Amino acid sequence: MEFSSQPLNDRWCFLKRIGKGSFGEIYSAYDMVLQENVAIKIEPISKDEKRLSLLLEISILKKLQGCPYATQFIHCGKNLHYRFLIMELLGKNLSQLLKEQTFHQFSLLTTIKLGIQMISAIEYVHKIGFVHRDIKPSNFAIRKNVQNQPDKELCCILDFGLAKRFLEKDGKYRPPRLGVGFRGTARYASLSAHQKQDLSRKDDLISLYYSLIEFLKGSLPWSHLKDRDEIMKLKIRYNNLELCQGLPPEFTQFFLHLQSLGYSDEPNYKYLRSLLRNISVREGFGNGKYDWEIQEEQMMSIHTDSKETSDSGNQIKIYKMETDSNGQINLKEFVTSFKNEKERKKKEK
């Protein structure tokens, strides 16, 4: 889609496209009233209103206002050509952050901190009567400037275009439908999704479970596959014990709880969070930093040291990577060399 240089509704100035999907496109924009950058999601007007995923997303996002794991809703509307949703602009999604890490893995500490927030975010969606049906790392993003928003959490859940209501307005559970199509993303989908069954709350959490395993191991056994049927075969072949090999036993308990649930059973979210917290307590993690925060600090340190090296013209610092017990990558200075012997002797004095 192409937009003119004129602000949308005389308020929002488009900056650049930051995402694209089957629904339409996402742009960053400047809000002249709030005087801050926002995100604008655009979807072309369709004659078939049932296919408009943005209408569903707007409805769900409005219901989630007040949830600390939801993006802030700002405005919505439409014109002759498209419908739009304006919301808080978030930072990178978890898939992007994962790819930026060494070996494309998160440490156990970061995985636990994210996992607890992701469980809570999914629980909020379920509480308003919806299943997400596309839980995956790229559908969670990091909130900017969370330090200035005490009522908000760092990790936000995104993209409700595939969500489905499972509760009637009177609170009764909708019976499962027959012959539904595949919903979700094959890598993270539950076996029920592969078998084209109606999805329930446990399926969202099974997708979360696969995401957490990927965080820790860097990939899933079927990450290299594209064909849904081939992926399903590997999911059947790899049992829970094989997937969790080398991980704390709580991850096996996590999956066993989900496996015990029927279609209409409510997951024990509190129990699942407690499993992850138990690991944190046992490992003595405390309130440690996220992997990307450590990475940013190390890069800042390298930049500062590089400037000092440039200023001195002689001193050169050399680093090597070390992995700590939490799996976090640290850069350690291990050699300081000098361009000439005279400078070395000065240092010794």
Distance CA 184, CA 204 (A): 10
Q: Tell me: domain 94-283, CATH 1.10.510.10, correct?
A: yes
Delimiting residues of CATH 3.30.200.20 domain(s) in the chain: 12-88
At 335 the pLDDT is 45
At 38 the pLDDT is 98
Distance CA 157, CA 189 (A): 17
Distance CA 336, CA 183 (A): 56
Delimiting residues of CATH 1.10.510.10 domain(s) in the chain: 94-283
CA separation, residue 210 to residues 142, 240, 255, 291 (Å): 20, 10, 10, 20
**Which residue is catalytic, options 31, 134, 159, 204?**
134
> How would you class 103 by CB atoms within 10 Å of its CB: exposed for 0-12, middle for 13-18, buried for 19 or more?
exposed
Which runs of consecutive H residues, i.e. helices, occur in the chain?
53-63, 94-100, 108-127, 191-194, 201-217, 228-237, 240-243, 250-259, 269-283, 291-312, 341-348
DSSP string, 3-29: --SSPBTTTEEEEEEEEEETTEEEEEE
Contact predicate 33/22, CB 8 Å: no
pTM of the model: 0.85
CA separation, residue 293 to residues 69, 225, 228 (Å): 20, 32, 35
Q: Is 198 an active-site residue?
A: no
Contact predicate 329/321, CB 8 Å: yes
CA separation, residue 43 to residues 53, 57, 94 (Å): 8, 11, 24
Distance CA 42, CA 23 (A): 8
Buried b / exposed e over 131-159, threshold 16 CB at 10 Å, is bbbbbbbbbbbbbbeeeeeeebbbbbbbb
Q: Give residues with Cβ within 8 angstroms of 176, minimum separation 6.
A: 197, 198, 200, 263
At 299 the pLDDT is 82
Please give the backbone phi and psi of residue 42, each rounded to the nearest 5 degrees, phi first: -120, 135
Torsion of CA 28, 36, 69, 134, to 10 degrees: -10
Distance CA 225, CA 206 (A): 19
- What is the 8-class DSSP label of residue 312? H
Q: Tell me: domain 12-88, CATH 3.30.200.20, correct?
A: yes
pLDDT in tens, 90-130: 999 999 999 999 899 999 999 999 999 999 999 999 999 99
Binding-site annotation: residue ranges for ATP: 41
pLDDT in tens, 272-282: 999 999 999 99
At 45 the pLDDT is 84
At 334 the pLDDT is 44
At 237 the pLDDT is 93
Average confidence (pLDDT) per 10 residues, the chain, 349 residues:
75 92 85 96 77 87 96 94 94 96 95 98 98 97 84 91 90 87 95 96 98 98 96 92 93 97 97 98 92 88 59 46 52 46 51
Contact predicate 64/125, CB 8 Å: yes
Identity (one letter) of the amino acid at 227?
D
> How would you class 229 by CB atoms within 10 Å of its CB: exposed for 0-12, middle for 13-18, buried for 19 or more?
exposed
